[in-house]
Structure 1
C-alpha cells in the first residue's frame, strides 16, 4: 500500500521475538508496506521519532518496559500520539484489551496471530 506520494506506508513493528519480526517483515513487504523493526520499547520509541511510521504494531510482553508503558509514552509524546498503535499479544484478557483501547490503541490482536487478520486490521486502519 502506498501513500499519496507513491511511497509505501511505513509500519513499525516492536517485538522482542526474532521469528515474529521475520514473519512480519515478509508479510508486510509482500503486501506493499515498508517494515521498520525494533527489539524493545526503547528502540521502538526512538525509531518512531526518527522514521515517523504510519502505524505501529506493538508487542505487550518484552524485556524492560511492558506494552502499557510503551503505549503510554507514545500517547504522551506530541510527535507520536497520532500514530495508530495495534497491540499484539499472547494476553487474552478482556480487562487488558479494554485498558489498551482506553489508552489509545486502535486494535488488539492476540498471538499466535493470524497473518490475514493482521493485514485486514492494518488495511482497515491505513486506507
Structure 2
C-alpha cells in the first residue's frame, strides 16, 4: 500500500450492477479515494464492518436485501451508524428521497448518474484527498 492510499478516504460502493461498480471504482481512484466494492446488501454490510469506510455509496434496488434494508441496518449498528451513506438509484420520487434522508442518508443521487455530480456530492461530505 502506498503512503497516498494509506491516507486516502475509503469509499464502499454497494451496487448489484457490475458496470456501475467498476466505473465508480475507476472514478473514485482517479480522484484520490480508495474504493471497495460489494455486489449485494449482505456483502456490503460485511465489508462495511471489515473495511470501516469513510463513506458508502449505496444502490437502493438490489436483489435480496435492498438499499432501504441495508441503510436501516447500517444506521442501527452502533459501529457503523456514523458512516455517511449516499444513495444512488433510478428511483426519482420525492417520497423515496424523503424516506432515505429521514432514515439517515447523507445525500441522494439519481441514476444514470453524472460522474461530476457524484464526486461533488462526495466532496461535500468528505475532505478532498
TM tier, shorter chain?
over 0.9
Q: Which runs of 4+ in 1 moved over 3 A?
A: none
Question: Deviation at 1:15?
Answer: 0.2
**Aligned twin of 1:59:** 59
Q: How many angstroms apart in 1 are the aligned matches of 2:24 and 2:105?
A: 19
Report the TM-score, using the length of structure 1 for normalisation: 0.95
Question: Tell me, what secondary structure is at the counterpart of 2:91?
Answer: coil
Q: How many angstroms apart in 2 are the aligned matches of 1:42 and 1:76?
A: 15
Question: Deviation at 1:20?
Answer: 0.2
- 1:59-93: per-residue Cα shift (whole Å, max 9, x none)? 00001011111000000000100000000000000
- Gapped regions of structure 1 (runs ≥ 5): 1-5
**Matches for 1:14-93 after TM superposition, within 5 Å:** 14-93=14-93
Q: How many angstroms apart in 1 are the aligned matches of 2:22 and 2:81?
A: 27
Count of residue pairs the alignment pairs up: 123
Q: How many angstroms apart in 1 are the aligned matches of 2:118 and 2:34?
A: 15
- Gapped regions of structure 2 (runs ≥ 5): 1-5
Aligned-residue CA RMSD (Å): 1.1
**Matches for 1:103-118 after TM superposition, within 5 Å:** 103-118=103-118
**Aligned twin of 1:3:** none
